[in-house]
Amino acid sequence: MSEVVERWGSRRAFIIAVTGAAVGLGNIWRFPWMVGENGGSVFLLLYVAFVLLLGLPVMVAEILIGRAGRRTPMQALTFLACEAGGSRHWRLLGLLGGITLFLILSFYAVVSGWSLEYLVDAFSGDFASRSPEEIGAAFDAFLASPGRVIFNQTLFMVLTMAVVAFGVGSGLERLNNLLMPLLYLLLLVLVGYAATTTGFGTALNWLFWPDPRAISFMVVLNAMGHAFFTLAVGAGALMAYGAYMPEGQSVPRAVVTVALLDILVALLAGVAIFSIVFSQGMDPASGPGLMFVTLPVAFSQLPGGTLWLGSFFVLLLIATWTSSINLAEPMVAMLHSAGLHRVTSALLIGIGVWLVGIPSALSFSWLSEVQPISDMTFFDLATTVPTDILLPIGGLLIAFFAVWVMDAQRAVQALGSNERFFILWRQVTRWVAIPLLILVLMGAMF
Ligand code: PHE
Ligand code: NA
């Protein structure tokens, strides 16, 4: 288990890769769905607070461990633990992360498949002439057809694993970087359109004017899980990327840039989507289909809507692709470092994730009545358990490891910032982030 010698080509390349991992379905699909289901403003407020108080410190911890260890997550943890006189068993934290990533990727590929289907539909121009009801019904009909859903899921898995297997990730990252400003621009256009709709004021009010009646423990838990998910932290995915971080780059600066961008993209998507919801009299709590119904409705109202919609789904596909690569990469690296060929590792992980994803894919058709735990389908379980439970547990252990186990001198070095900032980060992690995480997780248990 020797150190890796490769580095991202530049500081920017590292930020681009982490942004690629962070910005994805979490911002554009999952965030609006969650806000809608959790009553709006209170969720949004909690989510932003959790990103700042928990997400950022844990993200720093995670990248720092990867960078200080300069190995795959399991090896980095073992190495740093042994060096500091801690237990070898910390390597199991790497395994927990791998399992979490496995489960997340299983449904991520299913939902990315939904947008693949839309990509083709959008360019064939069917949307422009349809009413919101027709668009909603067509989406439900698509979800209810097992063959089409699985076909798209499979296609997306192949796209992801091919990149990971053949290591062309950096090319895709560059493409991603080139095109993401266009995605942000399209979201801005949508928000501009949203501002002309009758639902705009209601949407802003509902999103930004906190309504304390909406708060409940579930809202708190969902907001915390989503904060981890959207930043891609808690499962070692960014630890793997941190291992290649160039010398002399500041972790905090990189992390703050990415987190702010990630929040911004989510807010743009939220404002656009809820303006449509309220102008069309739709239900904000309409679940995981929300984005897939509202955005086509919005685009179909714009001149040249077909082209807009098609472009949007192309860009969304690229955004989700770089996220799914980040989900898959650490698992493949783990198998690879255990001696398997890279292509074999990618194939094994790909097939495993694909198989486990199938029950999620069928949760809107053949398996819609199967509810293994308290009226949750396989899809519901796959989208909540890893996100709301496993990521926060992983995040807690990662944070604990970074501030209580790992050698402090190494941590200072790996942070790439000054000593004062190190102390600040350590205090916030020790006395704010960790206790807060324990508190919410305990709440979930009782
Ligand atoms: N952050 C990604 C998104 O918002 C999802 C993700 C989670 C990616 C965990 C990597 C690790 O879509
Ligand atoms: Na995100």
Residue 90 binned pLDDT confidence (cut-offs 50, 70, 90): very high
CA of 162 to the centre of ligand 1 (A): 19
> What digits encode the pLDDT tens for the residues 163-209?
999 986 677 778 888 889 999 999 999 999 999 999 999 999 999 99
Q: Which residues of 161-178 are buried (b: 16+ CB within 10 A; e: fewer)?
A: bebbbeeebeebbeebbe
Among the bound ligands, the one closest to the CA of 266: 2
Alpha carbon distance, N-terminus to C-terminus of the chain: 41
- Which ligand approaches the C-alpha of residue 105 most closely? 1
Put simply, whether the predicted model's pTM sits higher than 0.90 gets the answer yes
The more confident residue out of 302 and 244 is: 244
The rounded distance, in Å, linking the Cα atoms of 218 and 224 is 10
- Judged by DSSP in three states, 376 sits in strand
- Please, are residues 14 and 240 in contact by the beta-carbon 8 Å criterion? no
Task: Check residue 382 and give its pLDDT.
Answer: 98
For residue 225, pLDDT beyond 90: yes
Distance 298 CA to ligand 1 centre (A): 26
- The arithmetic mean of pLDDT across residues 54-67, rounded, is 98
Confidence of residue 1 (pLDDT cuts 50, 70, 90): low
The predicted complex's ipTM stands at: 0.99
Q: What number does the ligand 1 atom closest to the CA of 327 have? A: 10
Percent of the chain with pLDDT over 90: 84
pLDDT recorded at residue 284:
96
How far does residue 231's CA lie from ligand 1's centre (Å)?
6
Can you tell me which atom of ligand 1 is nearest the CA of 326?
A: 10
Note the Cα 291 to chain centre separation in Å: 16
Section 396-404 average pLDDT? 98
* Ligand positioned closest to the Cα atom of 229: 1
At a CB cut-off of 8 Å and minimum separation 6, what does 220 contact? 46, 440, 443
**Closest residue to atom 7 of ligand 1, CA basis:** 232
Separation of alpha carbons 380 and 390, rounded Å = 15
Nearest atom in ligand 1 to 320's CA: 12
Residue-level pLDDT at 324: 97
Question: What is the whole-number distance in angstroms between the Cα of residue 327 and the centre of ligand 1?
Answer: 7
Residue minimizing CA distance to atom 10 of ligand 1: 232
- pLDDT band at 61, cuts 50/70/90? very high
Position 161: which residue type?
Answer: M
Q: What is the DSSP letter of 234?
A: S
The pocket of ion ligand 2, defined by CB under 5 A, consists of: 22, 26-27, 230, 262
Residue 262 alpha carbon to ligand 2 centre in Å: 6
- Span from the CA of 227 to the centroid of ligand 2 (angstroms): 8
What is d(CA 227, CA 223) in angstroms, rounded to the nearest whole number? Answer: 6
Provide DSSP, 190-207.
Answer: HHHHHHTSTTHHHHHHHH
Residue located nearest, by CA, to atom 4 of ligand 1? 26
Partner residues linked to 376 by β-bridges? 373
Work out which ligand 1 atom sits closest to the CA atom of 234: 9
Does residue 418 surpass a pLDDT of 80? yes
Joined together, the tokens standing for residue 173 give 């990252």
Backbone angles phi, psi at 438, to 5 degrees: -60, -40
Q: How confident is the model at residue 126 (pLDDT cuts 50, 70, 90)?
A: confident
| Cα 420 to ligand 1 centre (Å) | 30
Whose atoms come closest to the Cα of 329: which ligand? 1
226 Cα–ligand 1 center, Å = 10
Q: Which ligand is nearest to the CA of 112?
A: 1
Domain locations along the chain: 11-445
Q: Tell me, rounded to whole angstroms, the distance of Cα 36 from its chain centroid.
A: 18
Give the tens place of pLDDT for each residue, 155-173.
Answer: 999 999 999 999 866 777 7
pLDDT digits (tens, 9 = 90+) for 103-114: 999 999 999 999
Q: What is the DSSP string of 6-42?
A: ---SSHHHHHHHHHHHHSSHIIIIIHHHHHHHTTSHH
CA dist 387 → 116, 151, 227, 309 (Å): 23, 25, 9, 29
Residue-wise pLDDT for 292-333, tens only, equals 999 998 888 888 888 889 999 999 999 999 999 999 999 999
| CATH number given to 11-445 | 1.20.1740.10
Average pLDDT, the chain: 94
Q: Which atom of ligand 1 is nearest to the CA of 27?
A: 4
Nearest residue to 433 (alpha-carbon basis) of 43, 99, 60: 60
Residue 3 banded pLDDT, cuts 50, 70, 90: confident
**Distance from the CA of 11 to the center of ligand 1, in angstroms?**
21
**Residue in 167, 44, 51, 106 with CA at minimum distance from that of residue 324:** 106
**Which pLDDT belongs to residue 144?**
97
Q: Which of 147-156, 204-213, 333-342 has the highest mean pLDDT?
A: 147-156
The candidate with the shortest Cα–Cα distance to 327, out of 397, 232, 225, is 232
Name all residues whose Cβ lies below 6 A of ligand 1.
21-22, 24-27, 104, 229-230, 232, 235, 237, 323, 326-327
The region of weakest confidence among 52-56, 373-377, 385-389 is 373-377
